Amino acid sequence: MVYDRLEQGRDGARREIMIDPFVREFDMGLARPLSRSVRLNGFATCLRLEQVYWDILAEMARINCCTVSTLLSHVDREVHLRHGGVKNFSGLVRVVCVVHSLKEVVMS
């Protein structure tokens, strides 16, 4: 099925979509959520994230010469020390991954 690539803007004018997230050979597997057991500061828990975030976390852990669990323990500890915790740890991890990825784009 072919979709109209024109979208209506706020002013009512029709504009072509310039950035298409579904680029050629887009890997839908990156959007598949996966649950993994991790240890956060000694406590076993389960974290459900999309594959793309697990990939970014693995890269961040590699850069820091540690495991993903160690990296996540650091994030958990720091958010408690600096902000008193967070209600949605999975959401925080996603944001940390996006911020890391954006910094990588700017630096390259």
CATH number of the domain at 27-107, out of 1.10.3990.20, 3.90.1150.10, 3.40.190.10, 3.40.50.2000? 1.10.3990.20
DSSP string, 50-69: EHHHHHHHHHHHHHTTS-HH
pLDDT digits (tens, 9 = 90+) for 36-85: 999 999 999 999 999 999 999 999 999 999 999 999 999 999 999 999 99
Is the separation of the CB atoms in 34 and 50 below 8 Å?
Answer: yes
Check: pTM over 0.75? Answer yes or no: yes
